[in-house]
Amino acid sequence: MEEFINIEKSKTDIDMMPPLTWAYIGDCVYDLYIRTNLINKTNLNAHKLHIETIKYVKAQAQAEYLKKIYDKLTEQEKEIVRRGRNTQSHHLPKNASVQDYMYATAFEALIGYLYLTKQNKRIREILQINA
């Protein structure tokens, strides 16, 4: 993906973005990671891939994963998580508790921030933590 995706924002610009912007892109990055991982490790058809993907990308699963890996994050990453968790989204989750939704947003914000700041190695490390 690095060949055709060029992030043109400076680190200062990225630091100033609202956490929901980080979460917006983090949601896509995490979803693509899960889908790619499932394709690499299974032989499921498209419908079953979708069903399996949902198990990982739903708010409750993301919230649980973040809580399990939290102690393995750097202080800067914990600050990004805090900002993501405390942001006001004005969106009522349909299939998750408000708390799970807040933690899922925090997780997505972390992944999005790391992606935007081109820390792909760290994203892989975080997503491969055996929590």
pLDDT in tens, 6-33: 888 999 999 999 999 999 999 999 999 9
Residue 27 among the catalytic residues: yes
pLDDT in tens, 110-131: 999 999 999 999 999 999 987 5
Q: Token pair of 48, please?
A: 């079953």
Question: Among residues of the chain, what percentage have pLDDT more than 90?
Answer: 82
Of residues 27, 31, 71, 100, which has the active-site annotation?
27
| Domains detected in the chain | 11-127 (1.10.1520.10)
Overall pTM > 0.85: yes
Identity of the amino acid at 104: A
- Contact criterion met (CB below 8 Å) for 84 and 109: yes
User: How confident is the prediction for the chain on average, in pLDDT?
Assistant: 92
Residue 94: pLDDT band with limits 50, 70, 90? confident
